[in-house]
Amino acid sequence: MLIKRPPNGRDLPFASEITPRAVFESRRTFIRQLALGSIAGSALFEMATREAFAASAQQLATKANPAYTVADKQTAYKDATTYNNFYEFGTDKGSPARYASAMKTRPWTVSIEGEVGKPMTLDIDALLKLAPLEERVYRLRCVEGWSMVIPWIGYSLSALMKKVEPTSNAKYVQFVTAADRQAMNGLRYPVLDWPYTEGLRIDEAAHPLTLLTLGMYGEVLPNQNGAPVRIVVPWKYGFKSAKSIVAIRFVKDQPRTAWNRAAPGEYGFYSNVNPQVDHPRWSQASERRIGEDGFFTKKRPTLMFNGYDDVASLYSGMDLKKFY
């Protein structure tokens, strides 16, 4: 897939390294034909340029995981990549797609630290190779009342946890995300206490559903969806799924989270999808599926734990109205 040492003597990769082979080859053919004058001016021209220059994301080889794939219709790629929450690039839904290309996602390292026997700093290539990449189609339910169905690529965070060996003091995991003032135009607004941070209890982090996510729709993550690495916790509201992670800290005490700091009465630490516990300002009983349900369609019911009943045992005996 990736050629290790670029024979060009630079640090920059060749197009062939970051481009799917088919696209690269069709680009070469296209350029050759262009040189021969056989395409320019023809109706094929527009098609060929789009084919050769538009799709340039690195494809990832994956194995589908049917056990963690919902049957719901998948959200269109276009919707999943243009309707985003990524406040580091602005607070409206279109801003991440517009501005996130300013973020450089290579080189990128994630530091795994705190209460672990083997702290380590891993770069993206190491993370891509750490465990077999799986495709899992998950529902994502935003606390705002909309949802999507996305084919993510990654592996259980538990695979990484096994490598770093959390100590017996590790009761929680904190995710710290990128806060680069040069690249992230949203950071000049004090909407949240940057960097955006999130957290899970250690058993939630170790649950196989918790996905260390490196791609979606067959490719590496688009920047606006949290490239190059994010977490996806499908039974919790979307804001728990922190994007563009730079550190994973194993800690003794429950960590503060960006949204809990900003509005403690509205966003708790647990934030499990729960149709019976309303947000103080709106109901959480139903949702609108992006790309399917229009504004005049009756909203669809929201499912307890977003439909992931598997996780119920993590909370047995807990009052989920109190621990919202």
List residues forming the annotated binding site for Mo-molybdopterin: 84, 87-88, 142, 177, 225, 230, 241-243
According to the binding rule CB under 6 A, does residue 97 interact with ligand MTE? no
Identity of the residue, 9 or 280, whose beta carbon is nearer to ligand MTE in the bound complex: 280
According to the binding rule CB under 5 A, does residue 238 interact with Mo ion? yes
Could you tell me the smallest distance in angstroms from the CB atom of residue 214 to ligand MTE? Answer: 13
Q: Are 244 and 226 in contact (CB under 8 A)?
A: yes
E strand or H helix that includes residue 200: strand 197-201
DSSP state of 174: E
- Burial class of residue 318 in the structure, from the number of CB atoms within 10 Å of its CB (0-12 exposed, 13-18 middle, 19+ buried): exposed
E strand or H helix that includes residue 22: helix 21-35
State which of positions 141-170 bind Mo ion (CB under 5 A): 142
CA distance 180 to 283: 35
Could you tell me the smallest distance in angstroms from the CB atom of residue 144 to Mo ion? Answer: 6
Interaction partner, residue 87 (Mo ion, ligand MTE, none; CB < 5-8 Å by kind): ligand MTE
Q: Alpha carbon of 168 to those of 5, 202, 206, 235, 252: distances in Å?
A: 41, 10, 14, 26, 9
According to the binding rule CB under 6 A, does residue 140 interact with ligand MTE? yes
Q: Alpha carbon of 238 to those of 143, 232, 270, 271: distances in Å?
A: 7, 8, 12, 9
According to the binding rule CB under 6 A, does residue 88 interact with ligand MTE? yes
134 CB neighbour count, 10 Å cutoff: 18
Identity of the residue, 177 or 272, whose beta carbon is nearer to ligand MTE in the bound complex: 177
State which of positions 240-299 bind ligand MTE (CB under 6 A): 241-244
Nearest residue by C-beta to ligand MTE?
238
**Segment lying near Mo ion (by CB under 5 A), choices 47-55, 165-173, 230-238, 313-321:** 230-238
According to the binding rule CB under 5 A, does residue 83 interact with Mo ion? no
Q: How far is CA 124 from the centre of its chain?
A: 14
According to the binding rule CB under 5 A, does residue 226 interact with Mo ion? no
According to the binding rule CB under 6 A, does residue 27 interact with ligand MTE? no
Could you tell me the smallest distance in angstroms from the CB atom of residue 274 to ligand MTE? Answer: 16
Any bridge partners for residue 211, and if so which? 156, 232
Binding stretches for ligand MTE (CB under 6 A):
84-88, 140, 142, 148, 177, 196, 225-226, 238-239, 241-244
Binding stretches for Mo ion (CB under 5 A):
85, 142, 238-239
